[in-house]
Structure 1
Amino acid sequence: MKITKILNNNAVVVLDNEREKIAIGSGVAFNKKRNDIVNLDRIEKIFVMRENDKLQQLLSRIPEEHFTISEEIISYAEEYIGGKLNEHIHIVLTDHVSFAIERLKDGIQLNNKLLNEIKILYRREFEIGLWAIQHIKERCQVEMPEDEAAYIALHIHTMKLQGGDLHQTLKQTTIIRDMVQIIQKKLNIHLEESDISYHRLITHLRFALTRMNHYELHTMDEEMLVMIKKKFPYSYNCAVEVTKELKKLHGIDLPDHELGYIAVHIERLRKQ
């Protein structure tokens, strides 16, 4: 494999069987120049990506350590979830991690308004995020808040092969946060994130939205719905008000059977 471009001391672009690849390894470019043969013993990873140009640009602009740290996080994540992530993760996570490190060094911290929801909806990914910020602290001596663990968790989730796209994930999580805030306001209560009822409510709202997005039915028996309306009139009316606000804010209209399920969750919260 011949070197066609040196990106940094640990990354080079090579030509292998007339195909361009990115070779990564400690000191792989040491004392090398264009058209030299790469030392195969130094290569740790080879990337053959649709987005090679973007990765090349990124590697030439960020500190080498940031890419190494991101790759270690990706390797940990894939082992933790037991599967491969979309190849785009090598670009989006590296870009995010590098920017976050530099930003925090400058004393700029971004709050994640969806932190509590992400902790519950994407628990395993958030655990990866917690490992990642601890790893970054050990490697770079940069203290990262849990908000950054949540941002990393979103990237991991959306780069899972069945994870969906980041925009849709953020939209759904924002909708759930808004619904929880509306319910708290209607009931004049504050839900603690550690409360099991809070977890149940968020989990149900997530599945309700997912079912709508995939046109899946979760039909409640009509007699059961009538019973809920009679037995829990206040909670059902509260559910109706929540869906009105939801439609106003996000243009989403939940079907009656979902109102029944939400009413049951609201009644449980009221009793507490």
Structure 2
Amino acid sequence: MIIKRILNNNAVMSVDESGEDIIVKGKGIAFQKKSGDEINQNKIDKIFVIKNQEINRRYQEILVHIPYDCINACEDMIDVIKANIHKELSDKIYVTLTDHIFNLLERVKMGIVFDNALLWDVKRLYREEYQAGLLVVEMIRELFDIKIEDDEACFIALHIVNAQMNTEFKEVIEITTMIDDVYDIVESCFDLNIDKDGLEYTRFIMHLRVFFERIINQQNIHSEKSQTLLKTLQNEYLKQYQCVLKILDYVSMKYDEALEGEILYLLVHVIKLTEH
């Protein structure tokens, strides 16, 4: 492989056999090298193939501006996350999480503490991601010998969720708040203690995540598949149907989208959630 561009002493741009741009990393891989030189195969630690050009560009900036040891530690953390999260993650996590952790280390040095107002929401809505975040927090403590609270796992969890969605980080915050509001609507409609470890609760939360992601990305909301089934459920589960209408009223106040196509699917999830 030939060096196309030197990013720093430990990372270069090159191309693979198919002509795809790749990022090649290794301790001192660019030391005393220049563009056009052959890459020393013995110094290669990792090769990244990032097909999204915007993510590729942003990761190159990360490699230029963030210390090598921090980047390597973040890659180890992402490996741990992938081993504990059973969902596909976008390559952008290499950008967003690395940038977040680097800024976290800088904040700790300056004694800056962020208030996590979403703490309870994140722990409740993204339990798997929060647990992975706790593992990363422990790694940060050990690798960088710093004291940070477990609350930091909430921010990390949100970055994990962001890597699962086709959205920006600020929109993940927005979605999290809206899911929590919808959950409050359901609880206010029914005097019950919802099993947050139950399958129906997990499915309901996942449906809401996808639902709000589609709205934010202005994707078409699917149309009703069966008006007959909707009428049947509406008559049989009137209280759940009225709850769904409250949810749609809430969403309509925030977004100017046609939501009729969501009624049946929301109703089915609310029925399952409240009948168990």
TM-score, normalised relative to structure 1: 0.69
User: What corresponds to 1:215 in structure 2?
Assistant: 222
Q: 1:74 to 1:2 in 2, by over 3 A?
A: same
CA contact (8 A) 2:97 2:156 kept: yes
CA contact (8 A) 1:158 1:165 kept: yes
Aligned-residue offset at 1:110? 2.9
Counterparts of 1:160-199 in structure 2, within 5 Å, are 160=164, 163-166=165-168, 169-182=172-185, 186=188, 196=195
- 1:88 and 1:215 map into 2 onto residues whose CA distance is 28
Q: 1:226 to 1:83 in 2, by over 3 A?
A: closer
- Whichever residue aligns with residue 247 of structure 1, its letter is S
SS of aligned partner of 1:196: coil
Aligned-residue offset at 1:156? 2.9
Equivalent of 2:155 in 139, 151, 155: 151
Q: 1:22 to 1:216 in 2, by over 3 A?
A: same
- 2:173 and 2:119 map into 1 onto residues whose CA distance is 11
User: What corresponds to 1:47 in structure 2?
Assistant: 48
User: What corresponds to 1:104 in structure 2?
Assistant: 108
Q: Give the CA RMSD over aligned residues.
A: 4.1
- 2:246 and 2:98 map into 1 onto residues whose CA distance is 43
- 2:85 and 2:137 map into 1 onto residues whose CA distance is 18
CA contact (8 A) 1:9 1:28 kept: yes
Aligned-residue offset at 1:174? 2.4
Q: 1:138 to 1:74 in 2, by over 3 A?
A: same
SS of aligned partner of 1:159: helix
- 1:206 and 1:84 map into 2 onto residues whose CA distance is 14
Q: 1:102 to 1:122 in 2, by over 3 A?
A: same
1:86-111 CA-partner distances (Å, limit 9, x unpaired):
33332222222212222233232334
Q: 1:45 to 1:174 in 2, by over 3 A?
A: same
Q: 1:144 to 1:217 in 2, by over 3 A?
A: farther
Aligned length: 257
- Whichever residue aligns with residue 196 of structure 1, its letter is D
- 1:221 and 1:189 map into 2 onto residues whose CA distance is 24
CA contact (8 A) 1:13 1:21 kept: yes
Aligned-residue offset at 1:14? 5.1
1:3-25 CA-partner distances (Å, limit 9, x unpaired):
56554443344577787643212
Identity of aligned residues (%): 28
Q: 1:217 to 1:137 in 2, by over 3 A?
A: farther
- 2:71 and 2:190 map into 1 onto residues whose CA distance is 47
Greater gyration radius: 1
1:138-172 CA-partner distances (Å, limit 9, x unpaired):
11123344443233333334434xx4334664443
- Whichever residue aligns with residue 173 of structure 1, its letter is T
